[in-house]
Structure 1
Amino acid sequence: MNAGHAWITTPFTAGLLRGALDLERTPHGVLPHRLPARARAQCADPQLAMAEAQPSGVRLAFRTRATAVELETLPTRRQYAGTPDRPDGVYDLLVNGRLTDQASVTGGNVVRIDMSTGAAEHLTGAPGTLRFTGLPGDEKDVEIWLPHNEITELVALRTDAPVAPLPDRGRRAWVHHGSSISHGSEAASPTSTWPALAASLGGVELTNLGLSGSALLDPFTARAVRDTPADLISLKLGINLVNLDLMRLRAFTPAVHGFLDTIRDGHPATPLLVISPLHCPMHEDTPGPGAFDLAALTEGRLAFVSTGDSAEVADGKLTLRVIRDELAGIVRQRAAEDPHLHHLDGLALYGASDAATHPLPDGLHPDAATHRLIGERFAHHAFTPTGPFAAHA
């Protein structure tokens, strides 16, 4: 901090945060949520509760002359017994849109999970503080992207000059919903998840409703998308339904129609892009449910396997191949009356040929380099002049 300056503490308000749909007041401060309270009240699934409270795409955004910024937070991290501890979450600092620094917060709470039994141990910790210094002293736009993969309670924001909410920069608002890959699993930092990379390349403001393990055609998620201001909407659907073996083909098709109907109630003419699943060898032709690979766990690795039987596809069980075909047909049927509805085959973002050069380390999730590949391909498809998200559309 510059000599002669005192810290200024600024309260956390909705105006300072982007990418969150709700702010919950806690004993420590503020917890950003990516689903509204009404949606959270309709589902007691702990996986969903964890995923939506991990602030993928959520960032503090303000204008200031401050040369030093201090952020105190209380993280809640997951660790898996028998595997190496996961690294602390990363906070990305952007100044005038450019990534200029990264930091992490030590301490915090830990949820230690035994994957062989499903038991979870909760260890309580204290808040931690990160500090960014040496920022230019002129007025600038500052964004601090919160870790995409750990729950983050915001305790205090301190600066050596006043801050004000970042004004509207005239960018289009993009709302994206998807699974753990959209959430950012295995990405290196919050601005390097594939949706964040694509948003940067497309020059749009992202609200990321990628929910790890929880892209399940839930009606409350459709209503959240419906009620969120959006100039562009995309939905990446399918993989979690196979992972959980949640429904059969008979239920899947009407559920997709209902999901789209609900969104269209609030966004009747917004460009809406339906994305089918990326390539995933374990579920291409084998239904779920998926499971942790116990043999890998004995080696200290986290990996996944499919436990389904391909013979059951004839009885309506879902595979990725079945879902791709069905989604293409649904969009084709609806597009006759909805010219703003579009389809993208997920294999164009990550296909079978990519598995040789960019294999999925755990059998399910792409690594950091593959997130970049997917983000670049999506931006090239969606934001080019002939794409579904073209600026003139």
Structure 2
Amino acid sequence: MSTRPQLTTTPLTEHLLRGALEVERTAHGLLPHRLPARARAQNTDGQLAMAEVQPSGVRIVLRTRATLVELDTLPTKRVYVGAPPRPDGVYELLVDGRLAGRTCVSGGNTLTIDMAAGTAESRPGPVGTARFGGLSAGMKDIEIWLPHNETTELVALRTDAPVEPVVAADRAVWLHHGSSISHGSDADGPTSTWPALAAALGGVDLVNLGFAGSALLDPFTARTLRDAPADLISVKTGINLVNTDAMRMRAFTPAVHGFLDTIREGHPVTPLLIVSPILCPIHETTPGPSAPDHRALSEGRLSFSAAGDPAETAAGKLTLSTVRGELARIVEQRAAEDPNLHYLDGRELYGEADSVELPLPDALHPDAATHRRMGERFARLAFGPGGPLAVAADRAVRL
């Protein structure tokens, strides 16, 4: 009869976390946030409130000889009325930078969302455990990447050997902001979102401020980017402005300038890369808003369509084509006085040929294979030789 090994509980503190901007103490433990309290207090949108607390890019980092690691968490799982069940969030364990385990946590709270009615209902549930066993006995650095798309309260950490914090690696900190695609929608795990893949390939330390449905040039997000430590910054914007039909060109142009001005208040010379939207056929020349495809929902599929009128682009309604053109113009204008500001057309990450080979499954979000392709391309284009973020990355490592 096997006996359970003696495990030691290590208090969970912010010193063991990377990728979170703030940690909230709850009745259960720690809740990582990707927006600080001041920004959260200025937000009134439930979508952003849900997105920022989903820990994309957040990981527990420690050094230990442990062969067994257990992490108790309280997840919040989403259920969409009429849509297929969502898979449980994935926890991934890396040993010295290499994937060594994947698991899920059952139980947890449930948030039921009715997209047609615009309602949401919460139901409490029990704490569960992510367990990783069979690890090598030597001293090693361990990272536990939390589910990128599932709110996760951290309750308890147990190991069969003592643990210690890891001193931050001497690597450049890459601060990235974007939409659900940057958040990791439809990636197959937290280390497989395109920003996580790009960061691993580029040898940089990721802070991911990709917020599903919420890359809307909010001033509080710009202030968050301004105030967060960073060696490299990228902002991928456009798709949410189109698919929420949030503004017209008259408001878009000064909003972009204001967003960049705010970032530059805190990072006046930090390399800053503006990335326009990847190809999304439904919104290339058709404005938003995006709307759930009710026929697809009736068939048990989640899909979207563009509900705008292309004729309204003449009156300033945004499409991806007009957004890309204006972003390129703004960067060119500002780069005359800001040589560290750069532009990347998102179609270099996912374009026409990719759309034929790897179409967006729900007409908005890339699948796991596309995330990998985008991560590899971004790493080459941004962090590779001659890339706009390459020199600063090298400089940060030398420092």
TM above 0.5, yes or no, is yes
2:246 aligned with 1:255: no
Q: 1:209 maps to what in 2?
A: 209
Q: Please, which runs of 5 or more residues in structure 2 have no aligned partner? A: none
Q: 2:239 maps to what in 1?
A: 239
Q: 1:356 maps to what in 2?
A: 356
Q: CA deviation at 1:392?
A: 4.1
2:169 aligned with 1:173: no
* Whole-angstrom CA distance in 2 between matches of 1:83 and 1:311: 32
1:139-158 → structure 2 map (5 Å cutoff): 139-158=139-158
Q: CA deviation at 1:185?
A: 0.2
Q: Secondary structure at the match of 1:360?
A: coil
Partner AA of 2:200 in structure 1: S
Q: CA deviation at 1:118?
A: 1.8
Q: 2:289 maps to what in 1?
A: 289
* Whole-angstrom CA distance in 2 between matches of 1:320 and 1:8: 53
* Whole-angstrom CA distance in 1 between matches of 2:119 and 2:176: 32
1:79-94 → structure 2 map (5 Å cutoff): 79-94=79-94
Shifted more, 158-167 versus 15-24: the winner is 158-167
Are residues 101 and 250 of structure 1, via their aligned partners in 2, closer, same or farther at CA, if it must alter by over 3 Å?
A: same
Q: Secondary structure at the match of 1:241?
A: helix
* Whole-angstrom CA distance in 2 between matches of 1:308 and 1:168: 47
Q: CA deviation at 1:116?
A: 2.1
Shifted more, 110-119 versus 126-135: the winner is 110-119
Q: 1:338 maps to what in 2?
A: 338
Q: 2:160 maps to what in 1?
A: 160
User: Equivalent pairs: percent with the same residue?
Assistant: 68
* Whole-angstrom CA distance in 2 between matches of 1:392 and 1:141: 23
1:206-261 per-position Cα deviation (integer Å, ceiling 9, x unaligned): 00000000000001101111111100000001000011100110110111011001
Check the 8 A contact 1:64/1:142 in 2, yes or no. Answer: yes
1:361-392 per-position Cα deviation (integer Å, ceiling 9, x unaligned): 00000000000000001001011120011144
Q: CA deviation at 1:3?
A: 6.9
Partner AA of 2:110 in structure 1: V
* Whole-angstrom CA distance in 2 between matches of 1:81 and 1:298: 10
Q: 1:269 maps to what in 2?
A: 269
Q: CA deviation at 1:10?
A: 1.4
Check the 8 A contact 1:180/1:212 in 2, yes or no. Answer: yes
Q: 1:186 maps to what in 2?
A: 186
Q: Please, which runs of 5 or more residues in structure 1 have no aligned partner? A: none
After the TM superposition, list the runs of 4 or more consecutive aligned residues in structure 1 that deviate by more than 2 angstroms.
2-6
2:114 aligned with 1:109: no
Q: 2:219 maps to what in 1?
A: 219
Check the 8 A contact 1:385/1:392 in 2, yes or no. Answer: no
Q: CA deviation at 1:68?
A: 0.7
* Whole-angstrom CA distance in 2 between matches of 1:64 and 1:334: 48
Q: 1:374 maps to what in 2?
A: 374
CA RMSD of aligned residues (A): 1.2
Q: CA deviation at 1:295?
A: 0.8
* Whole-angstrom CA distance in 1 between matches of 2:355 and 2:163: 46
Q: 2:308 maps to what in 1?
A: 308
1:266-299 per-position Cα deviation (integer Å, ceiling 9, x unaligned): 1111110000000001110010111111111100
Check the 8 A contact 1:80/1:112 in 2, yes or no. Answer: yes
Q: CA deviation at 1:121?
A: 2.3
Shifted more, 87-96 versus 164-173: the winner is 164-173
* Whole-angstrom CA distance in 2 between matches of 1:304 and 1:76: 24
Q: 1:125 maps to what in 2?
A: 125
* Whole-angstrom CA distance in 2 between matches of 1:258 and 1:12: 38
Q: CA deviation at 1:115?
A: 2.1
* Whole-angstrom CA distance in 2 between matches of 1:77 and 1:255: 34
* Whole-angstrom CA distance in 2 between matches of 1:5 and 1:126: 24
Q: CA deviation at 1:5?
A: 5.4
* Whole-angstrom CA distance in 1 between matches of 2:294 and 2:3: 56
1:23-74 per-position Cα deviation (integer Å, ceiling 9, x unaligned): 0111111100000000000012100000000000000001111111000000
2:135 aligned with 1:135: yes
* Whole-angstrom CA distance in 2 between matches of 1:226 and 1:18: 18
Q: 2:31 maps to what in 1?
A: 31
* Whole-angstrom CA distance in 1 between matches of 2:340 and 2:130: 44
Q: 2:95 maps to what in 1?
A: 95
Check the 8 A contact 1:19/1:59 in 2, yes or no. Answer: yes
* Whole-angstrom CA distance in 2 between matches of 1:199 and 1:166: 18
Q: CA deviation at 1:315?
A: 0.5
Q: 1:65 maps to what in 2?
A: 65
Partner AA of 2:41 in structure 1: A
* Whole-angstrom CA distance in 2 between matches of 1:392 and 1:364: 35
Q: Secondary structure at the match of 2:135?
A: coil
* Whole-angstrom CA distance in 1 between matches of 2:41 and 2:345: 33
Shifted more, 304-313 versus 119-128: the winner is 119-128
Q: CA deviation at 1:4?
A: 9.1
* Whole-angstrom CA distance in 2 between matches of 1:185 and 1:4: 37
